[in-house]
Amino acid sequence: MPITEILSRNAELYGQDISLVEINPGVQERRNITWREYELIENNPAEEYRWEITWREFDDKANRVANLLLSRNIKKGDKVSILLMNCLEWLPIYFGILKTGAVAVPLNFRYTAEEIKYCLDLSEASALFFGPEFIGRVETICEQIPNIKTLFYAGENRPSFAESYDRLAANCSSAAPHIKLKDEDDAAVYFSSGTTGFPKAILHTHSSLMSACFTENKHHGQTREDNFLCIPPLYHTGAKMHWFGSFLVGGKAVLLRGVKPEWILKAVSEENVTIVWLLVPWAQDILDAIESGSVKLEDYQLAQWRLMHIGAQPVPPSLIHRWKKYFPGHLYDTNYGLSESIGPGCVHLGTENIHKVGAIGIPGFNWETMITDESRCPVIQGQVGELAVKGPGVMKCYYNDPEATAAVLQDGWLFTGDMARMDEDGFIYLVDRKKDVIISGGENLYPVQIEDFLHGHDAIKDVAVIGLPDKRLGEIAAAIIELKPDYKCSEEEIIAFCSAMPRYKRPRRIIFDGVPRNPTGKIEKPRLRDKYCGTSVVKAQIEG
């Protein structure tokens, strides 16, 4: 069934229950009171930091958005884009678009004006919802996007070139529009992360979105009593598709605007959160804060927190061993996926398989996997090859790009571009991105393996391994290392630490610098290559 029916059902069954909470702890922190205390203050100042809506309000808002779009002649199959920071209006707008039969097109809030224009043109969007953070970028291109017939502004101090979404939607009916939707109807366009150039437009159907609901709920057993903490951006498939497991059963969600360890722990404590999905850097920050004493676990109510899971990037086993030291009662899961596979879940570790930490896991619910050679034939178990996945969440296509679609889709299989191997128990280990493999002196070096090893050093907070040109070997491995706060470490210490690795795998350059990551937690290796390839940066060389 279309995913919009889940929202309508939740509104009917659980109408007065809270569905979504938005928290901006930066505001609360300045006032030095609890969120609940703030709500009890009479004559609250205009600057608020906690909002909530019920399932009935959620559905009504979505219906108002749908009727607003229909009044502007937005019809089934049209594309409507969303350019908002995480906020309470984001999901009602998203579902409102879907209720019209139109296709939701979320945009990365870090996009430049040029990238926004590119994505709007590629997706053929005819309307755009945007927030105050994007006024300047949208104004720069508003005369260059002729396909956009309407600009809806969500927020105060409306710019003159846009219409007020808040005012217009408030005057629209909250009755559900009579638009018949089918499972195979187009539902959403998501964009690839763009770490290797301009992003591709990934088209999914309602059936694909529904598959994410069922897969996630099967993996993590969400109930109406669960409360999901959503920190990553909603424009991406990751966190939102994990929330879909709770959405399916009417479970509550908290949208947290901020990633400080104390904010995350406070949200879990004060909002009675039971499930948290983290990126590796945020989990590292929480552990670092605990170990430095800047946060004390006894200050928070965390007994109800039952599940912590991580996705979007390789997870160092050392990180999870540290996590279990402080949170021994937590269930843990690793989740692997791509926007092309409707986000996480096509492969997952499983909470019962923590003894296999380091693997991305086994095929997810309703999914198949295959590891193939260059001819796309299965490799022998244990050999490294390209991971392919097949299941109900595979994208329909790259929109308006049949050549790129044909390159990754074959007989229902999605070829991921990730290099992997399978152990004797059937667990899959991610080796690296196909494009990130370093060929040094004829040997294939997989940066993820080197990064995992370096993460075992107590002083290292984050690390990225890239290939640098070398006249003799073609490429050599360089490790860009970000140290933990207040930690010191020399190049010689890293060289000595790496002596436990096979000689050919050891990085031949050590660079102390920050490790840039995009909003979904992926290392931005093209930025590092641009910065260090061909420069005269002082590096330490590991001989032989």
Q: Which amino acid, one-letter code, is at 157?
A: N
- pLDDT value for 543: 37
pLDDT of res. 209: 97
CATH code of 438-541, in short, is 3.30.300.30
Using the predicted structure, report yes or no on whether residue 134 has a pLDDT greater than 50. Answer: yes
Q: Where are the alpha helices (DSSP H) in 163-316?
A: 165-170, 206-220, 237-247, 261-270, 280-292
The backbone torsions φ and ψ at residue 21, rounded to the nearest 5 degrees and listed phi first, read -130, 135
Instruction: Give pLDDT tens digits for 25-48.
Output: 876 555 444 444 444 444 444 446
Please check the confidence at residue 483 and state whether its pLDDT lies above 80: yes
Nearest Cα neighbor of 429 from 261, 289, 314, 522 is 314
One-letter identity of residue 384: V
The beta strand positions in 330-373, using DSSP E, are 331-338, 343-348, 362-363, 368-372
Q: What percent of the chain has pLDDT over 70?
A: 90
- What are the domain boundaries of the chain? 438-541
| pLDDT for the residue 199 | 83
What average pLDDT does range 353-376 have in this prediction? Answer: 94
265-276, pLDDT tens digit by residue? 999 999 999 999
Summarize the confidence of residues 95-109 as an average pLDDT: 96
Cα angle: 518, vertex 530, 196; to 5 degrees = 50
Give the model's pLDDT for residue 238: 81
Report the mean per-residue pLDDT for the chain.
89
Question: Could you count the other beta carbons within 10 Å of the beta carbon of residue 432?
Answer: 22
Res. 425 pLDDT band, cuts 50 70 90: very high
**Token code pair at residue 486:** 């207040």
pLDDT in tens, 384-415: 999 999 999 999 999 999 999 999 999 999 99
Is the CA virtual torsion 41, 42, 47, 53 positive or negative? positive
Say how many Å lie between the first and final Cα of the chain, rounded. 60
Phi, psi angles (nearest 5°) of residue 59: -65, -40
> Among candidates 120, 170, 117, 171, which has minimal Cα distance to 140?
117
Q: Transcribe 372-431 into DSSP letters.
A: E-TTS-BPPTTS-EEEEEESTT--SEETT-HHHHHHHEETTEEEEEEEEEE-TTS-EEEE
